[in-house]
Homo-oligomer: A and B are copies of this chain.
């Protein structure tokens, strides 16, 4: 089976297959005399394993680890559980943060109902006011502490453990 056929059977682009090989996720296949990659059922399984894990949102690094655990049969499965648990946690946090985001976007959308001049648009006004320091759900300039929650990429005063003496 050549790379195009493997691509067709898995639904994975041929360039992506080569990329996985380069990244060491897929074992290097045999080559024909002219240098064409020739795949067999084993590699088909390997690739499907990768694709399935990717569809579960795992990073290539995670998949590499998982494949190593799979290869080493004496290894216990604690690390596997940890990896899946971390993945679940990651996905869960993403969902939480996106839900908050959706709320904020819906609230913002609610500021404008029908078409009119951009200058009077409630959406734009809300956005500009937020930028100018009016209180908003996500946004706290000048290092005032914000009221409780903060989503994923909260943009005020997060990690500045610096001197902060302030030169004008």
Contact = CB atoms under 8 A, between A and B. Distances in A.
Contacts of A108: 56, 84
Chain A: interface residue count, which band? 35 or more
Q: Is the interface of A mostly helix, strand, loop or mixed?
A: helix
A168 interface: yes
Copies per complex? 2
A145 interface: no
Contact of A116 (B76, B116, B151): B76
Contacts of A162: 8
Given A2-B167, A48-B141, A118-B73, A105 B124 contact: no
Interface string A93-135: 0110011011011101100100111111101100110111100
A52 B136 contact: yes
